[in-house]
Amino acid sequence: MERKMHKIKRQMTDEAAKAAFVQGHHGTLSVNGDDGYPYAVPVNYVYVDGKIYVHSAKVGYKIDCIQRDSKVCFSAILDAQVVPKMVTARFTSVVAFGRASIIEDEDERYMALKTFVDRLCGPTAIPEGMDFLEKTIARTAIIRIDVEQLTGKTSGAIEMDA
């Protein structure tokens, strides 16, 4: 699946998109839901070695959807600033398409959760974060998205003609 961006001048290089994506921590996971309706849910994520990791409860709608159809879309707005006088916004965003799976390998599950702790807790809260990881890892699902296509977009504000 590959489509060209309509406003190609706003497309980021692959390297810039990946670098921006690593810095983010919230995005929207979109799966193929029931009766042909898409289902999009906000989630925390980490991007490691070209893969997106999301933590979840072990049961629920998104898990059911992924087990039925692994094709997903993931998007993240990494930076946004509304510019009211120009009736627009400056932003950086990333959209990724890929296939999701529920990770069973304990080493990979631990690595993903440790990355969440490192990124979300910060250095001063690492001990508490690691305690939380140890207490919750057994009941936490880790979703890995193997990215097939990743596109970044950035936009500066454009002044309207007076």
- Expressed as residue numbers, the domain containing 74 is 8-104+141-155
Which pLDDT score, from 0 to 100, does residue 12 have?
A: 75
Which pLDDT score, from 0 to 100, does residue 85 have?
A: 80
Burial class (CB in 10 A: 0-12, 13-18, 19+), 17: buried
| R_g of the chain computed on alpha carbons | 18
Structural domain total, the chain: 1
Q: Looking up tokens 């097939």, which residue turns up?
A: 148
Least confident of 28-32, 89-93, 103-107, 125-129: 125-129
For position 83, which CATH number holds? 2.30.110.10
Which pLDDT score, from 0 to 100, does residue 158 have?
A: 47
- Give the model confidence (pLDDT) of 126-149 as tens digits: 777 778 788 888 889 999 999 999
Which pLDDT score, from 0 to 100, does residue 109 have?
A: 94
